[in-house]
Amino acid sequence: MDKLFEEYYQNYSLQDPNQPLSNTGMLNKPSKPPNLSLAYELEFNEYVNSRDFQHNFTSERTKNYVLTGIPYSHKQLFYVKVLKDVSAPDITIKVENAEQILKDINRAFPHTHFLNTKSGLFLLFDVALKSSNSYSQPLIKPLAYLVLSTGRLAYSLGPKFAFKYSVFTHPAESKLYQFQTLELLQQLDLELAEAFDYANFLMPWLVSCLHNCLEFEPWERFFDCFLYFGMDFLVAGACALVLEAGKGERFSVRGEDEEQRMDRFEALPDAQKQKMSIIGVPECYAFEKLKNAGRGVEIGQFLQDCHAVMLHMK
């Protein structure tokens, strides 16, 4: 596995990490990214014209983003929304210490274009990792690490990997991604790595993010999607995991208030309660509310695809 990773890294690493990316993304035209071999250029062209590409990207706008990068104006719209609280009818999800997280990021990246270079992404990774230890939100620490470290991995692997990871089509790519991410998790916190099965949680959840955040070019999609949609995706992924794990009954009862819900939660068997607490969701009532709240199309589609990918990977 290490040898496979090295081969990807050496053959498909991107441009100088200290050089800014273009305003429209890494790909300015439907040709080849920098430093690609003729063999890969042929492979890329074959993929773009393949049935897989047509199936994975049903939106013409999305296909254009894949080929040409997203417009700079769209990137600007995204950057002003970094780590803001997300509000929607009937449900409001807040990130604890969001203001402090935002201050940390703004202090490190005063111009906010922290994804314009690879080195900027690495710096954001370090800031989030160091500061996450002081935040109390249960999933901030593992999720910050997951998203940022996999962002790091995608930048290292480069376009050969990036163009295909909206839906994994090759077993080696899937295993490589899983192996590297699990290795990174264990370096962060052995207790977190052993707390629950990251192989089942991580792959479907992030693959679904990749597949559904259609506003952004492929290799930034999962990272942008987490920052742009914030806790909606975090909670939706956790809810989907609980449902898939056999706790699929909706935990809430119509007309029940928060205190009653928590009383019922406290009455659960310890094993079930522990599993639901680990992933930060003490009840599944948010599942259906998320499907119909605010940006219902994105969240609903995310949940549906999350289940589909989970079932496919069994």
Q: How many CB atoms lie within 10 A of CB 67?
A: 17
Q: What value, to the nearest 5°, has the Cα angle with vertex 159 and ends 155 and 160?
A: 120
Output the CA–CA distances (angstroms, integers) from residue 296 to 176, 186, 262, 284, in the order listed.
33, 35, 26, 17
Sorted by where each begins, the domain ranges of the chain are 73-242+287-313
Q: Which pLDDT score is estimated for 262?
A: 60
pLDDT of residue 303: 41
**Of residues 301 and 138, more confidently modeled:** 301
Report whether pLDDT(311) > 50. Answer: no
The yes-or-no verdict on residue 246 having pLDDT over 60 is no
Mean pLDDT lowest among 107-111, 134-138, 180-184: 134-138
pLDDT tier, 280 (very low <50, low <70, confident <90, very high otherwise): very low
Q: Which tens digits make up the pLDDT trace of 145-200?
A: 444 444 444 344 333 333 333 333 333 444 444 444 444 444 433 433 343 333 33
Q: Determine if the pTM surpasses 0.75.
A: no
pLDDT at 298: 42
